[in-house]
A and B are shown apart, each in its own frame.
Chain A
């Protein structure tokens, strides 16, 4: 199918974009990378009356670091984060590990991190990372600006706390401590599929004991999940990583955290080729592996 007819504007400033979005009597959609929106328009699951193309709005492509915070504008493309240097320290390394899992280079050249948060696909890598690392979503409308903490933002599949007339102008991430270890591991059927399950982890260790840990689960429920119960069993634990090539023993804290994430934190839905039981098994294994990857980063 082809997209149904719509009106199109390409504003040059944020204010012009907000004015266009303010017309709430019509179905008005922001066009960022278009890598989800135009697909949905092809399928005619979305038939906007007006498309507001923000690609010519000056300043939205800014990526800046100040005071321990990274600010990512609405036009920063997925591909930027393939370089671990795009963002300093462990956060940049985590973004780089995750970015290569998002579709493939031509999609990553257009799609944006902010667009992924706006779309809120349950299998979005960025959404789970934003949740686990306490990102803040900055939105604006003609009525003013507000900030939404990632933990209050996701409401369900493709559902968020953003109002229809609000533009997400940027995302802010606090920079984790320099010595934080990070991991990201994804399982999917083919290169073109979304994640069946993916896990993001950030681990901070003081005097050999885990002082902070964050586990984000991708496609393990109807929305991104932070594995709080699994994190709890890790705080204060000693970090012992088996030798390279050795399996994680069943009683290892990382393996136990994996089991708890799968049984208590996750609420996997049935998908074609993956029933909930299978997916719980994958979650348990991947959480263990991702924590191990993060711990290896700490010890290096």
Chain B
């Protein structure tokens, strides 16, 4: 099937079988290997990307479902000049990654929530819910929670300025 995915602002005209999941098409056809696949069961969250701004599991979505939709992956977080996203800076500052396998998924689930509602930092419960969405086998989650809170606080102070 012929489809067009808009990934991080670039159009990718593709010819894909309906059975192929979004994650595989991003990795193999678009050559964007930042999106990781862990469980392929919707459990681990490593594959999380934004589709039309909403965080979803790219292992539980078909690429053909995303025809004409806008997809954002971890490669799309940094600014045009390569400047890291506030979340990426915060993950680095808080040591919120060790092996890094889970990191793209955590970054995207947090980016989706933060962009939809920049005030999530005021609601630690919600941040807790986001951190619970994904699995990390290294960090113990606490640094990830701190990083998301830090990025939220930073973007809140930017908005006040």
| B is a partner of A | yes
Contact B18 A104 (CB under 8 A): no
**Complex CA–CA separation, A41 to B21 (angstroms):** 11
The one of A3, A53, A106 in contact with B109, judged by C-beta atoms closer than 8 angstroms, is A106
Any B CB within 8 A of the CB of A7: yes
Any B CB within 8 A of the CB of A58: no
B residues 6-49 in Cβ contact with A at 8 Å:
17-21, 24, 40-43, 45, 48
Closest to B133 in A: A104
A residues 43-62 in Cβ contact with B at 8 Å:
51, 53, 55
Say how far A36's CB is from chain B's closest CB, in angstroms: 9
Residues 53-71 of chain B: 1 if any A CB is under 8 Å from the residue's CB, otherwise 0?
Answer: 0111101111011010000
Chain B residues with CB under 8 A of A51:
18, 62
The one of A6, A10, A104 in contact with B19, judged by C-beta atoms closer than 8 angstroms, is A6
Contact B21 A106 (CB under 8 A): no
Chain B residues with CB under 8 A of A191:
132
Contact B109 A34 (CB under 8 A): no
**Complex CA–CA separation, A2 to B17 (angstroms):** 12
Contact B62 A38 (CB under 8 A): yes
Chain A CB count within 10 A is highest, among B17, B18, B42, B59, for: B42
The one of A38, A110, A192 in contact with B43, judged by C-beta atoms closer than 8 angstroms, is A192
Any A CB within 8 A of the CB of B129: yes
Contact B17 A104 (CB under 8 A): no
Chain B residues with CB under 8 A of A110:
56-57, 60-61
Any B CB within 8 A of the CB of A80: no
The one of B19, B56, B133 in contact with A2, judged by C-beta atoms closer than 8 angstroms, is B19
Closest to B1 in A: A8
A residues 27-79 in Cβ contact with B at 8 Å:
31, 34-35, 38-39, 41-42, 51, 53, 55
Say how far A248's CB is from chain B's closest CB, in angstroms: 27
B residues 88-109 in Cβ contact with A at 8 Å:
109
Q: How large is the interface on B (under 10, 10 to 19, 20 to 34, 35 or more residues)?
A: 20 to 34
Say how far A3's CB is from chain B's closest CB, in angstroms: 4
Say how far A98's CB is from chain B's closest CB, in angstroms: 15
Chain A residues with CB under 8 A of B153:
none
**Complex CA–CA separation, A199 to B65 (angstroms):** 35
Chain A residues with CB under 8 A of B156:
none
Any B CB within 8 A of the CB of A100: yes
Contact A35 B60 (CB under 8 A): yes
A residues 105-143 in Cβ contact with B at 8 Å:
105-107, 109-110
**Complex CA–CA separation, A105 to B134 (angstroms):** 10
Any B CB within 8 A of the CB of A103: yes
Closest to A51 in B: B18
The one of A42, A105, A109 in contact with B40, judged by C-beta atoms closer than 8 angstroms, is A42
Say how far B58's CB is from chain A's closest CB, in angstroms: 10
Any B CB within 8 A of the CB of A5: yes
Q: List 7 A-B contacts (CB under 8 A).
A: A2-B24, A3-B19, A3-B21, A7-B18, A8-B18, A39-B42, A104-B132
- Residues of B at under 8 Å CB distance from A? 1, 17-21, 24, 40-43, 45, 48, 54-57, 59-62, 64-65, 67, 109, 113, 129-130, 132-135
- Residues of A at under 8 Å CB distance from B? 2-8, 10, 31, 34-35, 38-39, 41-42, 51, 53, 55, 100, 103-107, 109-110, 191-192
8 cross-chain pairs, A with B, having the tightest CB-CB distances, nearest first: A8-B18, A104-B133, A3-B19, A106-B55, A38-B60, A191-B132, A109-B54, A192-B43
